[in-house]
Amino acid sequence: MPKFQLDRTDRKILDILQKEGRLSNLELAERVALSPSPCLRRLKRLEESGVIRQYVALVDSLKVGLGLLAYVSVKLEKRGEGAVKAFARSVQNWQEVVACYSMTGDLDYLLRVHVEDLEHYSRFVMNSLLKHPGITEVKSSFALERVKDTTALPLTHLA
C-alpha cells in the first residue's frame, strides 16, 4: 500500500507522463479531463510528495554508440560495512555503470553496464572493476536482443 494516496486522476496523470513526459500542462489537462489549474495543482503535489522523482530524456544507447549491454554480478570478499561503502562509492564514479543494486542470494551486487563494445567492456572490467579491493568474483551476461525496455512502472495495483 503506497504511503501517498493516489486517486484515479492521479494515476492517469502518472500513466500518461511515464509515456509522454514532455506534454504541456494544457495537453495533460485535456487528456485527464481537468482544467489546466487543477491539473497543475495535482502535478505539483505529485512532484512535491516525491511520487514524481524527476524528469529525464531517455537516450537510445545504440544511437550514441553504446552497443553492448552487460549485466554483471559481483561478489565481495567481506560484507562488512567498510567494504560495502567503499564499493558503493566506487560505483558512483564508473560512468559505464548505469544501475547498481544490492542483492540477496548468491551475489552481492548486480550492475547494468553500457559500453561501446567488448573491448570497452574488457577495459572497464580490468581497469576499474577488478582493481577494486574486496571483489572476489565477477560474472557477466550480455544482452543479445532488446525484447522489452521501459521505464514506465505498472500502476494497475493502485486501482
CA pair distance 6, 47, nearest whole angstrom: 13
Within 13 Å, how many C-alpha atoms sit on residue 10's CB side? 17
The DSSP code sequence of 62-83 is GGGT--EEEEEEEEES--SHHH
What percentage of the chain reaches a pLDDT higher than 90? 87
Torsion angle of alpha carbons 108, 114, 117, 119, nearest 10°? Answer: -50
Question: Could you report the per-residue pLDDT of 65-89, keeping only the tens digit for each?
Answer: 999 999 999 999 876 778 889 999 9
Tell whether the model's pLDDT for residue 1 goes beyond 60: no
Say if domain 8-57 classifies as CATH 1.10.10.10. yes
C-alpha distances (whole Å) from 134 to each of 87, 108, 128, 148 are: 8, 12, 13, 34
Q: Please report which residue ranges of 4-146 form alpha helices under DSSP H.
A: 8-19, 25-31, 36-48, 81-93, 118-124
Least confident of 22-31, 73-82, 119-128, 131-140: 73-82
pLDDT (tens digit per residue) in 2-20: 567 899 999 999 999 999 9
pTM listed for this prediction: 0.87
Span 43-68, average pLDDT: 96
Question: Which class does domain 62-142 fall in?
Answer: alpha beta
pLDDT of res. 3:
65
Q: Per-domain residue ranges for the chain? A: 8-57, 62-142
pLDDT over 90 (residue 44): yes
